[in-house]
Structure 1
Amino acid sequence: MSNERRLAAIMFTDIVGYSAMMHKDEKGSLEILNRHRSILEARTAAHYGKVIHYYGDGSLSIYNSSIEAVTCAIEMQQAYNSNPKVPLRIGIHLGDIVIGDGEVYGDGVNVASRIETLGIPGCIMISKRIQEDLISHPEFHHISMGKFEFKNIPNPLEVFAITNEGLAIPNKNKITGKLKEKDVINSLAVLPFADYSQEKDQAWLTEGMTNALTHELRKISSLTVPSSTTMRTYKGSDKTLPEIANELNVDAIIEGSALKINDSVHITATLINANDKSLWSDAYEIGMEYFYVLNHNIAQKITQEIDIALTPADSTRFTTPSLVHPGAIEADLKGFKIFIEAYTIEQVKEAVEYFKQAIKLDSSFALPYAHLSQAYFWYHYFCESSPLESLALSESANNKALQLDPKLALAYLNRFYEQYYIKWNWEEALKVLEKAQSLSVDDLDVLYGFLFYYISTGKFDKAFETLEKIRKINPNSLAYWTNKVLVQFHSRDLEGVLESAAKGIKIFPHEAILELQMWSLSFLGRHDEAVDVARKILNNEAGVIPHRRGEIGCIFARAGLKDEALQQLDIIQKLNVKYKYIDPIPTGLLYMGLGDMDMAMHYIEKGFEMRSPIWMVFAKRAPPYDPMRGDPRFEKLIQKLKFP
């Protein structure tokens, strides 16, 4: 018998949950099955169709037209809705079929069978080709359910639901069926955006774009996103995207570019899975005032593409930003780039001027106030002002930031540092830090805050838990290694400090790691090695901030190098004339190393009076204070700090 090829409306039906029915009530289930078949056959014959096959609790039938097939389906569902009800779903598609030897073949059959699986009891799902035939028939109502990628079907297909009275309509967000397995993406990284400017002088824009998009994506609690700091190490990398994804243990990568031409910003963004397959891409041309709005929209689009659901808390954080004066955004981005890379007070002051310029251009823009607060707060670190003077400047700017934007996580983080480092208000510090965390999920700077708080209060289990979170977000970074040795040092795992420092220094020979390596060697009695590390720090002029000379002098004194210790003391005394503020506590440590406990206590008490930020918050447990422990004067000072 020869095969017959023809165009037909193909209908698949399926009784939902039939197997479960059989287990509960075999007789009732058979009654429903027979009812399904009898109504199907009667209605199909009435509309000039033909039942080709029964598949257990399902069926395949064909019709001469879309109109006949859909009319038949509506009548069937209306009949099945009376008792005993038949929980049937129906899928219909118009396509080529081949009939031969009692069988029906063809791509159209596959499509119809896939469409049926998207349905729910009482519904009728149709393909785009069926929907097009219904447009001139107003008696049929329908709604698009969206486009779907089906197993073994090469291209996405749009599917519709018939919405005539009495029919069930699936929830678009809960549709399931024989769909292609989507890439499961629970983590992604934003690569540094490329700078396509001719002079390569728009790093402020590309880094700002990277930071802003990362910040938006990190508001989603179910999505793991490495920090911008981590991603900065991949700038200009010749590694492939799969290699980077593997190193970071992420499911996908976002790469893009940003270029400012006159008043327009041109941006591209592409989402690529770990196997180097492009999942989504788009290009934009916007005015600078839409910078933060665009980042929000890109983040929103990506969450839709990877099918990430927002929790109520996520939705509270994930709100559309307001438009901002374009010049204010540019000034703030330029200032922030300078600030995060600053090694000198001159650089910090340059950043401050940019933040002030941003505020002048748009006084309703909260972010530059928060950035200004950050910069002012660290004036004391660069010896530009005392901690209390820094605090006054920082609080003034930060209060304005919070007034303008009560949901600005950075402003709460700034308040934490004010309360923690200078006011020593432990309860309030923890409260505002938790508020910052609620507004920005596992933000790295917030995690650093928790880490410092746990070290100060002796909660080392929590400190190590927080360190592990930092490692996952910011692996193999300077911040991770610095904080790892910090926790180990204060928990008195000095051998652990040396092991971690040796690994960290190979990648980042930074003074912050060398300093704790130096102290650990000294307390382990390895004084010659401690002195060697101290000399390394002295040889790097950028790393020899005035505060650090007191520590180095202490190490020299502990090693019996009294003359070199006194030399550092002389330098500190001269620097006190040059600078507006030098933390007195490291000078106290130097005297401690020399064995002059009265002078040591004098400078430690002076540090308390001046609100020495870094050394006082760790005073209860930091090893360098050990020679003073038991001294009534020191113990009284610790009581005044009221550690929890």
Structure 2
Amino acid sequence: MEAERKLTAIMFTDIVGYTAMMQKDETKAVLFRDRHRESFRRLHEKYKGEILQYYGDGTLSIFNSSVQAVQCGVALQQEMLKFPHLPLRIGIHVGDIIKREEEVIGDAVNLASRIESLAVAGSVLISHEVQHHIKNHGISTRSLGKFQLKNIIGPTEVFAIDLEGLVIPTQEQMEEKGQIFDRRSKIESNSIAVLPFANMSSDPEQEYFCEGLAEELLNILTQIKNLKVASRTSAFAFKGKNQDISLIGEKLRVRNVLEGSIRKVGSRIRLTAQLVDVTNGYHLWSEKYDRQLDDIFAIQDELAQAIAERLNLTFGADPRESVDYHSTENFQAYDSYLKGRYILHRMDASVQDALELFQTAIDLDPNFALAHMGVGDTLRAMGHQGMIKPTEVSMQANAALDHALNLNPKLAEAYVTKAWISTFYDWDIVQAEKHFLKALQLNPNSDVAHARY
């Protein structure tokens, strides 16, 4: 057949970690690959794509339209993100190629392959040329910057498709993939990270209290409509690191950072907090609270309200009236709960101590919903570490979580833990998805719900 030169949209896909998957569970890996190919064939027929090659865990295909190529890539990725998750990355470029039978050659093919290699599981990355073709077709994109790609002359600007459910690679992930010429990805003004409060007390054992209050405040902020909040894991990674606030903001991709300190002396507490605009280093708001320790709930309420008001003034975000700032008035129960959360986050052999601390909080206040949720989450973690049998996890953890939800039906994280149990202990994918969707309905900004779903 005579070679044909044509302008074509080229798509590469690749299953992330497929080789390791094959080594661990060959049957499961083959099932994943077959699922990928079935969806791939069906969606290419729908969006008029031509499949040229299957190679191991990857594919190569072409389209006459950049719009249809992107629509196909988005649909494919959204299917792969459903249960059971299939970690897929997709790269698309449009350019001049030479096609001969089922073979395509040209610089455009190489560039599409390089863009796919930049992607992370759950993402669809495209070139500047593709972005130009689709920009008037209602498909949202986000620039990730310009990269020097292997065997490609000059920098290439890469965009991520920014649609619901798709993953946007972080700045750190992109820096690991290739040399960045500039960073033009948009950081939205209504975004914030909460750093762990610095412990200014003489007792280093008070770290649990400082981290716990920061985490509680982060959870409150996720309830503010239209406000993007950096996850606890990402924000707390900067604990103890003396880094410039602007660099922290850039790495976390947020416009604003909340930081502060706590000093506990006897029965008194001094909490200092400030909200900083990382683009200029200016303080948008700061406050100092010097109270009795038993007033911690009033401090939380005042702090949350002050930040919410300031964010409303700055971002136009409205705090939801339904937010519960705390669910106990017993300070000793709350203190025990914070200690339990601190230990649980370490995910080590001491996790059983967290269970005892949550139970202590319940003994002090039987109606403390968060403590019951902590029991369920700890049992889930103990099952993960093989400390208790899966059947015990399902029965005991679900009982604790159901009790928590009876006390407070708005606990999104309780539904996330129930979903995790349904997935890995009950093997009930349908029920797990229902729990995840309920969690996201209650709190669309829940980072743990998005991460685990």
TM-score by length of 1: 0.39
Give the deviation of 1:331 after TM superposition: 0.7
| Structure whose residues are more often strand by fraction | 2
The answer to whether the Cα contact below 8 Å between 2:199 and 2:261 also exists between their aligned partners in 1 is yes
Q: Which of the numbers 185, 193, 202 marks the counterpart of 1:198? A: 202
**1:352 counterpart = 2:375:** no
Which amino acid counterpart does residue 196 of structure 1 have in structure 2? M
SS in structure 1 of the partner of residue 425 of structure 2? helix
Q: Distance in 2 between matches of 1:417 and 1:243?
A: 34
Give the deviation of 1:310 after TM superposition: 4.7
Q: Which residue of 2 aligns with 1:213?
A: 217
What pairs up with 1:193-592 in 2 under 5 angstroms? 193-274=197-278, 275-292=280-297, 294-306=299-311, 307=313, 308-310=315-317, 315-344=320-349, 347-450=350-453
| Structure whose residues are more often helix by fraction | 1
Q: Distance in 1 between matches of 2:221 and 2:413?
A: 16
Q: Distance in 2 between matches of 1:366 and 1:287?
A: 24
Which amino acid counterpart does residue 334 of structure 1 have in structure 2? K
The answer to whether the Cα contact below 8 Å between 1:194 and 1:206 also exists between their aligned partners in 2 is yes
Closer/same/farther in 2, CA of residues 431 and 271 from structure 1, 3 Å limit = same
Closer/same/farther in 2, CA of residues 290 and 234 from structure 1, 3 Å limit = same
Q: Distance in 2 between matches of 1:399 and 1:191?
A: 31
Give the deviation of 1:427 after TM superposition: 2.8
| Larger Rg over CA atoms | 1
Q: Distance in 1 between matches of 2:437 and 2:300?
A: 25
Runs of 5+ consecutive residues of structure 1 not aligned to the other structure: 1-183, 451-644
Which amino acid counterpart does residue 443 of structure 1 have in structure 2? S
The answer to whether the Cα contact below 8 Å between 1:263 and 1:287 also exists between their aligned partners in 2 is yes
Closer/same/farther in 2, CA of residues 357 and 424 from structure 1, 3 Å limit = same
Give the deviation of 1:426 after TM superposition: 2.8
Higher RCO (Cα < 8 Å, 6 or more apart) = 2
The answer to whether the Cα contact below 8 Å between 1:412 and 1:433 also exists between their aligned partners in 2 is yes
Q: Distance in 2 between matches of 1:231 and 1:205?
A: 17
Q: Distance in 2 between matches of 1:233 and 1:389?
A: 33
Give the deviation of 1:296 after TM superposition: 4.3
Q: Which residue of 1 aligns with 2:66?
A: none
SS in structure 2 of the partner of residue 378 of structure 1? helix
Q: Distance in 1 between matches of 2:451 and 2:242?
A: 31
What are the superposed Cα offsets for residues 310-354 of structure 1, whole Å, 9 maximum, x if unpaired? 55xx5154345444211111111111111110322xx01111111
What are the superposed Cα offsets for residues 485-523 of structure 1, whole Å, 9 maximum, x if unpaired? xxxxxxxxxxxxxxxxxxxxxxxxxxxxxxxxxxxxxxx
Q: Which residue of 2 aligns with 1:47?
A: none
Q: Distance in 2 between matches of 1:428 and 1:316?
A: 29
Closer/same/farther in 2, CA of residues 383 and 250 from structure 1, 3 Å limit = closer
Which amino acid counterpart does residue 263 of structure 2 have in structure 1? L
Q: Distance in 1 between matches of 2:373 and 2:439?
A: 13
The answer to whether the Cα contact below 8 Å between 1:187 and 1:224 also exists between their aligned partners in 2 is yes
What pairs up with 1:55-74 in 2 under 5 angstroms? none
The answer to whether the Cα contact below 8 Å between 2:257 and 2:276 also exists between their aligned partners in 1 is yes
The answer to whether the Cα contact below 8 Å between 2:415 and 2:436 also exists between their aligned partners in 1 is yes
Deviates more, 1:244-253 or 1:199-208: 244-253
Which amino acid counterpart does residue 415 of structure 1 have in structure 2? K
Closer/same/farther in 2, CA of residues 249 and 369 from structure 1, 3 Å limit = same
The answer to whether the Cα contact below 8 Å between 2:327 and 2:369 also exists between their aligned partners in 1 is no
What are the superposed Cα offsets for residues 583-625 of structure 1, whole Å, 9 maximum, x if unpaired? xxxxxxxxxxxxxxxxxxxxxxxxxxxxxxxxxxxxxxxxxxx
The answer to whether the Cα contact below 8 Å between 1:219 and 1:439 also exists between their aligned partners in 2 is no
Q: Distance in 2 between matches of 1:293 and 1:393?
A: 34
The answer to whether the Cα contact below 8 Å between 1:356 and 1:368 also exists between their aligned partners in 2 is yes
Q: Distance in 1 between matches of 2:432 and 2:343?
A: 28
Closer/same/farther in 2, CA of residues 293 and 414 from structure 1, 3 Å limit = farther
Give the deviation of 1:382 after TM superposition: 2.2
Q: Distance in 2 between matches of 1:398 and 1:322?
A: 15
Closer/same/farther in 2, CA of residues 240 and 328 from structure 1, 3 Å limit = same
Runs of 5+ consecutive residues of structure 2 not aligned to the other structure: 1-187
Which amino acid counterpart does residue 194 of structure 2 have in structure 1? V
Which amino acid counterpart does residue 235 of structure 2 have in structure 1? M
SS in structure 1 of the partner of residue 229 of structure 2? coil
Closer/same/farther in 2, CA of residues 446 and 414 from structure 1, 3 Å limit = same
Q: Distance in 2 between matches of 1:428 and 1:390?
A: 16
Closer/same/farther in 2, CA of residues 434 and 297 from structure 1, 3 Å limit = farther
Which amino acid counterpart does residue 231 of structure 1 have in structure 2? A
Q: Distance in 1 between matches of 2:443 and 2:366?
A: 24
The answer to whether the Cα contact below 8 Å between 1:195 and 1:202 also exists between their aligned partners in 2 is yes
What pairs up with 1:159-174 in 2 under 5 angstroms? none
Deviates more, 1:350-359 or 1:423-432: 423-432
Q: Distance in 1 between matches of 2:341 and 2:351?
A: 10
Q: Distance in 2 between matches of 1:372 and 1:256?
A: 29
Q: Distance in 1 between matches of 2:316 and 2:384?
A: 43
The answer to whether the Cα contact below 8 Å between 1:355 and 1:372 also exists between their aligned partners in 2 is yes
TM-score by length of 2: 0.54
Which amino acid counterpart does residue 273 of structure 1 have in structure 2? D
Give the deviation of 1:381 after TM superposition: 2.4
